[in-house]
Structure 1
Amino acid sequence: MKQPDVAVPVPLAGALAADPDRPVLTYYDDATGERTELSASALGEWVTRTTNLLHHGCGLRPGDRAAVLLPPHWQTAAVLLGTWSAGMSVSFEGIATAGLPRIGVGSAGPFDVTYVARNRVGSWLEDVPEGRHRFVLGFAPGAASLDDADVPEGYRDYVAEVRGHDPNLRPHVPVDRADAASVDGTSYEQWGNLARELASILDFQLGDRILIDAAEHEHPVKWLLAPLAAGASVVLCANLDPARLADRREAERVTRVL
């Protein structure tokens, strides 16, 4: 079977076309006990909501710039894919790139939108680049919204805001494959090529179920784009407890561990 032609900004297209109900991303956090499983269609709804939030809620357009200061997480997948589907270019501030080209890493602000993890705001605030629109993510299990007291001044709660946008209204975004997908000028086509090349190097196969340790593979080309490019699904594990690994491999029918 031919592998799906996956390229940013619509890397979910292959999974949606093949089987919209198939699990595409399962997220575990062994520190909280969370397990969240998303089918291609469920993740696609979060992606569409995010794109509509950016276009209709923020008035942003293709070519605008986003800073993503988020760890590997299923909500981060929605943020990234939604931001790319909006035609924007992304900066991965502070994300490790061991073994990868330094694409999309670091750029001086200001940005048009900034996404920040709640535990980074506060003592880390001086490290957050300036953004016209600023969203905070608390990553609570069950995609719960933050309490008002936990939303820093000048920020909006991403989950609360994105829920107000239509998951079925498909925004028409005229994005060219040569447009910049990251702030360093790397194009959407180049990102897609890198994802496919890495999938080949790692021998990801169509239908694979890949368990990924989030702490070891922070860059989204590894934990998100390369698996999607291969037509694989991901079991993404934060705070991975090695004692649970064997049981998880069996329960999730894992075929590969990264």
Structure 2
Amino acid sequence: MADNIARVFADAIATDPTRPLLTWYDDATGERTELSGATLANWVAKTANLLVDEAALGPGDTAGALLPPHWQTAAVLLGCWSAKLTVVDAPGAVDVLFAAADRVDEAAAWPAGERYALALDPFALPMRQVPPGFADFVSAVRGHGDHFTPYPGGGEADAALLARAEARAAEVCLTPGDRLLVDTGRYPDPIDWLLAPLTAGATLVLCANLDRSRLDARTAAEKTTRILT
């Protein structure tokens, strides 16, 4: 059983880093963003470098993520796990907090050393107005390096998360080469929309505010082989 999320991600993109790994749709806005494995890896590396070089964090430190399923959320989570941070989901004191712009009011329940806000703009544009007490994640992360060497071994929670992910991948019958479409409104857990597919060697089509009248056309266009809707 795998016990290192950074290694699982690296293995997932190793065969062909140029193929589409994660495709993001928001049917409420018409947004579509497609990332290859190499492009997502760059965002992950920049996030890990931000955490290590700018926030001075590392193994054993904690991160909170007040973020919905999104391609930028994938970069944040994988960046945290690459730097061997433990991502927690219950309000409490953390070393770094990432919050969507529409959830910064919840941040009062999360005392944090560093705070980054995400507008989740489809083109990853900087925020026009940064909430007080936060730094703009996109502006902060862009200046960091495109490569990061993960620490050896997994983080404190990696083995438990990957055990859950492998079990979920088996439940959904995911196999290497599958392309999984996920209704993120119904399946917001990163185990479903991120880690299970990665452990299985599958690629992702993530759909927010899924318009079910478009489902058949989308599964055909994206050549999906499995769906969670």
TM-score (norm 2): 0.94
Greater shift, 70-79 or 247-256, is seen at 247-256
Give how far 1:20 is off. Answer: 0.7
In the alignment, what sits opposite 2:50?
53
Q: What amino acid maps onto 2:17 in structure 1?
A: P
Equivalence for 1:17: 14
Number of residues of Structure 1 aligned to a counterpart in Structure 2: 228
CA–CA distance in structure 2, aligned partners of residues 256 and 42 of structure 1: 24
Cα RMSD for the two superposed structures: 1.7
Deviations 1:126-181 (A, max 9, x none): 4x41110000111111111101xx2111101111111010113x23524x33x422
Structure 2 gaps, min length 5: none
Listed as ranges, the gaps of 5+ residues in structure 1 are 93-105, 182-187
Amino acid at match of 2:151: V
Q: Using the alignment, how far apart are the partners of 2:177 and 2:107 within structure 1?
A: 41
AA in 2 matched with 1:78: A
The residue that corresponds to 2:213 in the other structure is: 243
Counterpart in the other structure of 1:180: 156
Cα distance in 2, alignment partners of residues 74 and 38 from structure 1 = 8
Q: Does 1:133 align with 2:130?
A: no
Q: Match for residue 185 of structure 2? A: 215
> Are 1:190 and 2:160 counterparts?
yes
Output the CA distance in 2 between the equivalents of 1:21 and 1:125: 37
Which of 141, 158, 161 aligns to 2:137? It is 158
Percent of pairs with identical residues: 46
Contact 1:204–1:227 (CA under 8 A) maintained in structure 2:
yes
> Which SS does the other structure have where 1:53 is aligned?
helix
Partner of 1:96: none
CA distance in 2, matches of 1:212, 1:73: 11
Q: Which amino acid aligns with 2:208?
A: A
Match of 2:96 in 1: 113
Question: C-alpha distance in 1, partners of 2:32/2:8?
Answer: 23
The correspondence for 1:29, drawn from 1, 23, 26, is 26
Change (3 A) 1:64 1:5: closer
Q: Quote the Cα distance in structure 2 between the aligned partners of 1:109 and 1:125.
A: 10
> 1:17: how far off?
1.4
The structure with the largest helix share of the pair is: 2
Amino acid of the structure 2 residue aligned with 1:252: E
Match of residue 83 from structure 2: 86
Match of 1:143 in 2: 124
8 Å CA contact retained: 2:99, 2:107? no
What is the rounded CA distance, in whole Å, between the counterparts of 1:18 and 1:159 in structure 2?
29
Say whether the 8 Å CA contact 2:18–2:37 is kept in structure 1: yes
Partner of 1:95: none
CA contact (8 A) 2:2 2:159 kept: no
Change (3 A) 1:64 1:6: closer
Whole-Å separation in 2 of the counterparts to 1:256 and 1:196 = 16
Q: Match of 1:28, SS?
A: strand
**CA distance, structure 2, for counterparts of residue 68 and residue 10 of structure 1:** 22
Q: Which residue of 2 aligns with 1:73?
A: 70
- The 5-angstrom pairing of residues 226-237 of structure 1 reads 226-237=196-207
